[in-house]
Amino acid sequence: MLKLFSAFVMVLLATAANAQEWLYEDASVPIAYFDNGEAQFQFACRGGDLAMGFWVRAPHRQVAGAGAMNLAITPDAAEGSAISAAGGSSFAQDIPLIHSDGSSMIVRGPVARQWARIAQQARTAIRVAYVRSKAGGGLEVFDSNMFGAKGSSAAIKKLLDRCR
């Protein structure tokens, strides 16, 4: 019984350790991803076409009811810092939302490649959020999620090596 319990604890610890860094799956559709439990940020290659996805399991009601939003990525964001171009954030504009078991966006082409490079170069964390412009200026931020950057460079490199 003690051996079974010890084995179970070791499996849980290994799962928790893996959840703290980027993973790469070399399947028919290779993927590099980080899942923080609330959201998943990923890069995938299908037929040589790179795609970047951001999926939130339980989105804010504004996101769940929207047809399209902007998306922001901020590498090495300080906790509590604002999302802004001046603060190092990059944006993907007016991307259609997919609503199925949460809300997600898929970005392809040059923007996906640019964001892959941003995610690879992050040292500690990557913040991704849905955003939209306020009428009077500034941004409304929804479903801001932090993803660790550990292993992002290697996992995304493996993917990019397969997806030219």
Helix-, strand-, coil-residue percentages of the chain, each rounded to 5: 30, 40, 30
CATH number for the domain spanning 35: value is 2.60.40
Reported as a single tens digit per residue, the pLDDT across 77-130 is 888 888 988 888 999 999 999 999 999 999 999 999 999 999 999 999 999 999
Per the prediction, the chain carries an average pLDDT of 87
The pTM for the full model equals 0.85
Asked if the model's pLDDT at residue 13 lies above 50, the reply is no
In the numeric block, which tokens belong to residue 162? 């397969």
Sign of CA dihedral 52, 57, 62, 64: positive
Q: What is the pLDDT of residue 128?
A: 97
CB 101 within 8 A of CB 89: no
CB 28 within 8 A of CB 47: no
* Closest to 43 measured CA to CA, from 107, 126, 121, 100: 107
CB 90 within 8 A of CB 115: yes
Distance CA 134, CA 140 (A): 6
- Full residue range of the structural domain in which residue 42 is found: 2-162
Alpha helices in 19-93, H assignment, sequence order: 61-64
Domain count, the chain: 1
Q: What is the pLDDT of residue 19?
A: 52
